[in-house]
Amino acid sequence: MNASQNMTSAIKPFSSSSFSSSSSRFAKKRTDVKAAAKTFAEAKNYNLTLLPGDGIGPEIMRVAKDVLNEVGRKHAIKFTYEERLVGGAAIDAFGTPLPEDTLECCKRSDAVLLAAIGGYKWDTLAANMRPERGLLGLRAGMEVFANLRPAVVLPQLADASSLKKHIVSGTDIMVVRELTGGIYFGEPKGFGTNKKGEKIGFNTMVYSEPEVDRIAKVAFEIARKRKGRLCSVDKANVLEVSQLWRERVIETHKGYKDVELSHMYIDNCAMQVIRDPKQFDTIVTGNIFGDIISDAASMLTGSIGMLPSAAVGSSGPGLYEPVHGSAPDIAGQDKANPLAQVLSAAMLLRYQFGEEEAAKSIEAAVNATLDQGFRTGDIMQEGMKLVGCTAMQEALMKNLSK
């Protein structure tokens, strides 16, 4: 059996009962490109670039690496790692948030696992020198235009949500956010002076037809493998860019008639996600709307420290990272929840390599650890065992090696 056959058979549809579920046609295409030239034995040796970044990044990356090694041992997968600097750490070492060597290393690897970047230390730097620039440059350089952000409410943590349990229980939303276009990248942008001589700041929200078409296709493919419902979120009542967005989504829908398409304005969507999250299956939206809606959806789950994400393109390595930032307020105190990072590693195994069983092993170990009552501060509940990052890792590793 060659690698491509192996991966294809390993890929299963998105399910409503797991953390992030499985892959889709676009993911198969990505893996198939690389897989075609490899034998099965070679495909079991994966080259990963690790980007620990800043703040709690190195603490949680350490956990994910140990977990990958253990799961590799169990499932006969060998990982080869190259570690590089990005964000504030790269600014300190090289004077730039994204050194060329870091991007090159990411592009030649099979997949990239990122922790988080940023921190107080770099907050006063000019915008183009901030750690966040490193992240934006990485996404653009790797051409990963689709950000997949599952928001699944785990039964063990349904009480941890700030919303009522009966509202959030059973929530399973996949937000597909366009990642490399829209207002974060549009030109012109900058500062200037208006007619009254007042200083102004401005940005441009722009999407081209191909940019909308490719993200719409990804979203339809994912929705098709889930419950078959896609909600496209825009602001077409006010913005021309959203009118184009809606036109292209409707056009793309012609190839996916089995998927039920609806449209919602972003302001209404913000309300609906809080009011009745279970009405959503898959959401597709642009960069800035997706940034906000996926954060709101993530809070339904109780903790940002539990949420993985993936950023993928049409081909090549994807970027797998937790939703949360570098949490500088708790960095170096052994308080970080490593589970979002660990679940990002599970997403990497599933989406990039079709290693479904290995991904499931990780998710089962996370589930077992939560079932045993272990909680970091961010997800602490009455009657549970409060632990730090190290103790959470120990519990996780025990469950993984069972």
Residue ranges binding ligand NAD (CB under 6 A) = 56, 116-119, 132, 135, 304-305, 321, 324-330, 336-337, 340, 376, 378
Nearest to ligand NAD of 170, 377 (CB atom): 377
Of 347, 319, 320, 344, give the one whose Cα is nearest residue 139: 319
Nearest to ligand NAD of 105, 231 (CB atom): 105
Nearest to ligand NAD of 135, 216 (CB atom): 135
Nearest to ligand NAD of 170, 388 (CB atom): 388
DSSP code at position 305? G
Burial class (CB in 10 A: 0-12, 13-18, 19+), 269: buried
Least gap, CB of 366 to ligand NAD (angstroms): 13
| Residue 264 β-bridge partners | 233
Question: Does residue 340 contact residue 304 with C-beta atoms inside 8 Å?
Answer: yes
Among all chains, which residue has been given the structure tokens 């941890």?
160
Least gap, CB of 172 to ligand NAD (angstroms): 22
Which among 184, 207, 320, 351 is annotated as catalytic? 184
3 state SS of 311: strand
Among all chains, which residue has been given the structure tokens 């997800």?
379
| Residue 192 β-bridge partners | 200
Which among 32, 66, 213, 295 is annotated as catalytic? 295
CA gap 148, 283 in Å, rounded: 10
Active site residue 267: yes
Nearest to ligand NAD of 232, 337 (CB atom): 337
Least gap, CB of 3 to ligand NAD (angstroms): 31
Nearest to ligand NAD of 158, 330 (CB atom): 330
Active site residue 184: yes
Which among 92, 123, 159, 267 is annotated as catalytic? 267
Nearest to ligand NAD of 221, 291 (CB atom): 291
Q: Token pair of 325, please?
A: 């930032």
Least gap, CB of 27 to ligand NAD (angstroms): 21
The b-or-e profile of 181-214 (16+ CB within 10 A means b, else e) is bbbbbeeeeeeeeeeeeeeeeeeebebeeebbeb
Burial class (CB in 10 A: 0-12, 13-18, 19+), 380: middle
Least gap, CB of 156 to ligand NAD (angstroms): 16
Of 10, 84, 83, give the one whose Cα is nearest residue 44: 10
The residue type of 273 is V
Active site residue 295: yes
* Bond into 131 cis (ω within 30): no
Least gap, CB of 395 to ligand NAD (angstroms): 15
CA gap 304, 149 in Å, rounded: 12
Least gap, CB of 95 to ligand NAD (angstroms): 18
Which among 217, 235, 335, 360 is annotated as catalytic? 235
CA gap 296, 276 in Å, rounded: 13
Which among 54, 234, 281, 291 is annotated as catalytic? 291
Give catalytic residues, as residue numbers: 184, 235, 267, 291, 295
